[in-house]
Structure 1
Amino acid sequence: MKHQFHQTVLREYDIRGIIGETLGADDARAIGRAFGTLLRDAGGTTVAVGYDGRVSSPMLEHALVEGLTASGCDVVRIGMGATPMLYYAEASDEEVDGGIEITGSHNPPNYNGFKMVFQGRPFFGADIQKLGELAADGAFASGTGNVTTRDILGAYVERLLEGLAGIDPAKLEGLRVGWDAGNGAAGPALEALAARLPGEHHLLFTEVDGHFPNHHPDPTVEANLADLRALVADKNLDFGVAFDGDGDRIGAIDGTGRVIWGDQLLMIYAEDLLKTSPNATIIADVKASRALFDRVTELGGTPLMWKTGHSLIKSKMKETGAPLAGEMSGHVFFADQYYGFDDALYAGIRLLAASARLGKSVTELRGAIPPMLNTPELRFQVDEVRKFAAMAEIAGRLITNPGPEVESVNATDGVRVNTADGWWLLRASNTQDVLVARAESETPEGLERLLAQIDAQLAASGLERGESVGH
């Protein structure tokens, strides 16, 4: 049975679409058939399946399981939970060879999708294209797999708590923390976790609701942190932690309500980790502040700038043996005493641990980070077929004829250009028809000059930085 996916749903890092328009039960069934076929070809037999709190998730899960079992794979259903709980199910059980989480992540409620792990590695890019080709050919394996159900919430919470191992409980008893699950899939695990944590914990919106009635669950958008900020101020808490819809991205604020952005969290984690793992490689994506790379060097670590995308970062961690990595988007990856996948609940635990071990409040740790002036992520529409070609032209010009103001050009992912004023970045999104720009300087004038350089490069390729569009 051949199956053709809508052209927009097979993306670089995952599969994602709009329910009833570009994604439905037939697609989920075909994903199960194709993923199961690839896994069996690689010698695997068993797949863990979980899903987030979206209204459409149970329907997709049912069809996905049908597809997997029809390919001859056995399925372990772990039910509704955060994406990292599914990753944990795959990583902690030697008999499980792959995992699929049905999740729309931080997209609007009418979206849904699939995040996959294959024999302990991320399944993305060429893997996803191969899955599409296999479905189009209808070259599926056949069989009759068995289905079992497993409740792993308790074991997962126990594993999260190991992030506090070795810390004097007295150092944690006085902590007062706010947590915002945003009605996302992390809610039940957060409730179970908070009940076991030392200190005082105040929880918001732990009831899973795929309509997201309180605010959209994307903690990298400052407006979505308003409820958490109000809670921290009202209760005079030490800091606050927020999660995205499927619990793999973290947001945080300190006791004064200042946002702790992804690269700033990484600075705090690095300070803690490098005390016990000197010289360790710490990876951050190309959007991260220069202050982070400087700070890792200062602390005795080896900073590595890498491409944006959770699957790309995870692969680079495996290749380099890095114990810690992170992205501006709030994906944080601990291979230090953990499995190397992005788990916002575990990252929350490690923030408590860092504060206790370093003997400083989260507000103090945030306050020590040097102030930088930076733009938010500027995203502007560029036609899908044009965006990569334009980036190739811009990179070519900067490498062959950079101009006197350019100190260096890093072409790891798009172009990141260093000048005396700071740096600017221009890259093509792997998931949308947009170019993404960002700039950072120590002065407002410097920031203006950096933006002017971006505009000049765009103009030379017949483009302009229009209105910024959303994710």
Structure 2
Amino acid sequence: MTPDPGTERIAAIHPSACREYDVRGTVPETLDEGAAYAVGRGFATRVRRAGGTRVVVGRDGRLSSPMLEAALVDGLTDSGVDVVRIGLGPTPMVYFAEATLGVDGAVQVTGSHNPRDDNGFKMVLRHRPFFGEDVQDLARMAATRDWTQGAGSVEQVDILDAYVDRLLAGYAGGEYRIGWDCGSGAAGPVIEKLVQRLPGEHHTLFTDVDGHFPHHHPDPTVEANLDALKRLVADRRLDFGFAFDGDGDRIGAIDGQGRVIWGDQILMLLAGPALTEHPGAPIVADVKASQALFDHIEGLGGRPVMWKTGHSLMKTKMLETAAPLGGEMSGHMFFAGEWYGFDDAHYAAIRLIRSVHLAGRSMTELRGAMPLMVDIPETRIAVAEADKFAIVNRVAAALARDGAEVNDTDGVRVRTADGWWLLRASNTQAALTVRAEAGDRAGLERVLAELDGYLAAQGVRR
């Protein structure tokens, strides 16, 4: 019997890299070639044990992605899985490939919106997210070398044009003057091709992929990262603008006045057309979303569903509820129905253009008509990785003792006379996430004072 090449290779997955819905760490401290190889071996083994033989692999533009992707492919093929390599591109393009190429799974090498030196792996098995205990299983398999063995093949496929064709299929969004900021991330090549074919006038920023992220970090939930897009929209007097995260699965948006359209407001814009096409349907939003969103969905005759934050968790809930649309404050927008059920910032842009067109008003008018809520955006508080869930649990116990009105879908979302506040443990970082909202500034101060009191009791300051 041919010796298993994995027996001669250092291949272990650092425990901290196994997150709730992907593998993610800092290169090389908690993620390296050995871990990438182990992920490939373990994932290929799971694919084969599920009766599959073929996996698509892509990578984002981070500096470490080529190295990790090569080791991943070695691991996949050494466990007997054939690999369809699609090269550099955004995560949604990998999801599209998985949905259309007749493969049994997919892996994208990506650090998403995390700091520059982070990287990781997002996985799909048999058209469903691979997360939770499945991710933990990869570490167990690496520790015991519980892997199948084989000699898989590798082929290279260029799917970019087919993906852009699919994004534009049935386009009915009208003509607008739009700015596009790719933040030097993997969305750049897609957007360059997309805007060449869209009607209207388009101006792009930072479409060259550069893992140094020289202009700004590609996280559109941080308003400072939208400054260049705001300047572009103002200088060119554009109708609105879009921004993308590092791997193109999260969207940011601004109106013609440079006002940010946050994730829950994006979902409000998308909800109208979705509920026209699917009357009475559920729409899923994460626990960080504004109460105004849930009220808006209900007002349109839809069924608002509040669910846990996390792209894998949201996609699973959408499958469970047969929802045509879902979204997160982080800018993940999920589309079923005429799409494939995954989060896709490029398709979200297409649908937003369509939503504006169908509304018959400008993006600026639509943004201006939204309920005036006073809030704080998603804020991360750095804490030790080992402490974050324990802190939330202790706060939850204190709230129970105090008789507070709490939704514990994901962390604690607390209703007060003035509004609500949220505390949850981040699934991607060593951090707590907080949000708060009220009807006016004075109410928000009271909401925040309550939140701060519970945090202070745990030795944490916002």
TM range (shorter): over 0.9
Task: Give the aligned partner of residue 463 of structure 1.
Answer: 458
CA distance in 1, matches of 2:414, 2:27: 40
* Alignment equivalent of 2:22, drawn from 11, 14, 18: 14
Task: Give the aligned partner of residue 230 of structure 1.
Answer: 231
SS at match of 2:31: coil
Task: Work out whether residues 248 and 346 of structure 2, in 8 Å CA contact, stay in contact via their aligned partners in 1.
Answer: yes
CA distance in 2, matches of 1:381, 1:85: 32
Q: 1:373 to 1:390 in 2, by over 3 A?
A: same
SS at match of 1:136: helix
CA distance in 2, matches of 1:273, 1:289: 19
Give how far 1:430 is off.
2.4
**Structure 1 runs, 4 residues or longer, greater than 4 Å off:** none
CA distance in 2, matches of 1:241, 1:30: 37
Task: Work out whether residues 75 and 148 of structure 1, in 8 Å CA contact, stay in contact via their aligned partners in 2.
Answer: yes
Task: Give the aligned partner of residue 148 of structure 1.
Answer: 155
For this pair of structures, how many residues does the alignment match?
Answer: 454
Is 1:333–2:341 an aligned residue pair? no
CA distance in 2, matches of 1:72, 1:37: 8
| CA deviation vs aligned residue, 1:266-294 (integer Å, no higher than 9, x gap) | 00000121122111111111110011001
| CA deviation vs aligned residue, 1:399-443 (integer Å, no higher than 9, x gap) | 4541xxx5x321111111112201111112223333222110112
Matches within 5 A, 1:270-289: 270-289=271-290
Task: Give the aligned partner of residue 106 of structure 2.
Answer: 99
SS at match of 2:444: helix
Q: 1:62 to 1:260 in 2, by over 3 A?
A: same
Give how far 1:162 is off.
2.0
Matched letter for residue 20 of structure 2: E
SS at match of 1:432: coil
Matched letter for residue 62 of structure 2: R
Task: Give the aligned partner of residue 183 of structure 1.
Answer: 184
CA distance in 1, matches of 2:110, 2:170: 26
Is 1:49–2:31 an aligned residue pair? no
Is 1:127–2:134 an aligned residue pair? yes
Structure 2 residue runs without a partner (length 5+): 1-6
Give how far 1:55 is off.
1.8
Matched letter for residue 138 of structure 2: L
Task: Give the aligned partner of residue 239 of structure 1.
Answer: 240
| CA deviation vs aligned residue, 1:47-92 (integer Å, no higher than 9, x gap) | 0000111122111111111110110000000011000000000011
Task: Give the aligned partner of residue 4 of structure 2.
Answer: none
Give how far 1:11 is off.
1.3
Matches within 5 A, 1:312-327: 312-327=313-328
Matches within 5 A, 1:29-40: 29-40=37-48
| CA deviation vs aligned residue, 1:185-240 (integer Å, no higher than 9, x gap) | 11111111111111111111111111111111111111111111111111111100
Task: Give the aligned partner of residue 438 of structure 1.
Answer: 435
CA distance in 1, matches of 2:425, 2:296: 27
Task: Give the aligned partner of residue 220 of structure 2.
Answer: 219
Matched letter for residue 418 of structure 2: D
Matched letter for residue 337 of structure 1: E
CA distance in 2, matches of 1:25, 1:3: 8
CA distance in 1, matches of 2:391, 2:243: 36
| CA deviation vs aligned residue, 1:128-165 (integer Å, no higher than 9, x gap) | 0001100110111001111111111111001100262x
SS at match of 1:270: helix
CA distance in 2, matches of 1:186, 1:383: 32
Task: Give the aligned partner of residue 379 of structure 2.
Answer: 378
Matched letter for residue 172 of structure 1: G
SS at match of 1:292: helix
Q: 1:367 to 1:336 in 2, by over 3 A?
A: farther
* Alignment equivalent of 2:414, drawn from 403, 414, 417: 417
Task: Work out whether residues 163 and 353 of structure 1, in 8 Å CA contact, stay in contact via their aligned partners in 2.
Answer: no
Give how far 1:455 is off.
2.6
Task: Give the aligned partner of residue 78 of structure 1.
Answer: 86
Is 1:108–2:110 an aligned residue pair? no
Task: Work out whether residues 16 and 112 of structure 1, in 8 Å CA contact, stay in contact via their aligned partners in 2.
Answer: yes
Task: Work out whether residues 455 and 464 of structure 1, in 8 Å CA contact, stay in contact via their aligned partners in 2.
Answer: no
Q: 1:259 to 1:112 in 2, by over 3 A?
A: same
CA distance in 2, matches of 1:456, 1:212: 38
Give how far 1:378 is off.
3.1
Task: Work out whether residues 3 and 138 of structure 1, in 8 Å CA contact, stay in contact via their aligned partners in 2.
Answer: no
CA distance in 2, matches of 1:20, 1:318: 36
Task: Give the aligned partner of residue 28 of structure 1.
Answer: 36
Task: Give the aligned partner of residue 259 of structure 2.
Answer: 258
Task: Give the aligned partner of residue 351 of structure 2.
Answer: 350
SS at match of 1:436: strand
Matched letter for residue 10 of structure 1: C
Matched letter for residue 454 of structure 1: L
Matched letter for residue 320 of structure 2: E
SS at match of 1:55: coil
Task: Give the aligned partner of residue 451 of structure 1.
Answer: 448
| 58-67 vs 319-328, which moves further | 58-67
CA distance in 1, matches of 2:37, 2:64: 14
SS at match of 2:377: coil
TM-score normalised by the chain length of structure 1: 0.93
CA distance in 2, matches of 1:429, 1:177: 33
| CA deviation vs aligned residue, 1:425-465 (integer Å, no higher than 9, x gap) | 11122233332221101122211211122233334xx4144
Task: Work out whether residues 3 and 137 of structure 1, in 8 Å CA contact, stay in contact via their aligned partners in 2.
Answer: no
